[in-house]
Amino acid sequence: MSDHLQTEEEIREEMEELGVSNSGGDGAPDVMMSGPMIRAIVIILVFLLVAGALLLVF
């Protein structure tokens, strides 16, 4: 690691190289972080947990 501080432009260039976009500007979260998506993932995980528990019991 180097000791020099990166400028905002250097950070922006590195983020673009990594494929990270921070130019939304509206403050909205990404699609994967939206409420309905999180709710769907939680429901699927709970279903898999219950199904796995039932397989262990029976």
Of the candidates 21, 40, 39, the one whose C-alpha atom is nearest the C-alpha of residue 29 is: 21
Model pLDDT for residues 4-25, shown as the tens digit of each residue: 778 888 888 888 888 776 665 5
Reading the block at residue 45, the tokens are: 């995980």
Reading the block at residue 53, the tokens are: 């528990």
Cβ atoms 22, 15 nearer than 8 A = yes
Give the Cα separation of 23 and 30 in Å (integer): 12
Residue type, 45: L
Confidence at residue 45, expressed as pLDDT on a 0 to 100 scale: 98
Look at 46 and 15; give whichever has higher pLDDT.
46
Q: How far, rounded to the nearest angstrom, does the alpha carbon of residue 22 sit from its chain's CA centroid?
A: 14
Confidence at residue 51, expressed as pLDDT on a 0 to 100 scale: 96
pLDDT winner (highest mean) among 6-10, 18-22, 26-30, 52-56: 52-56
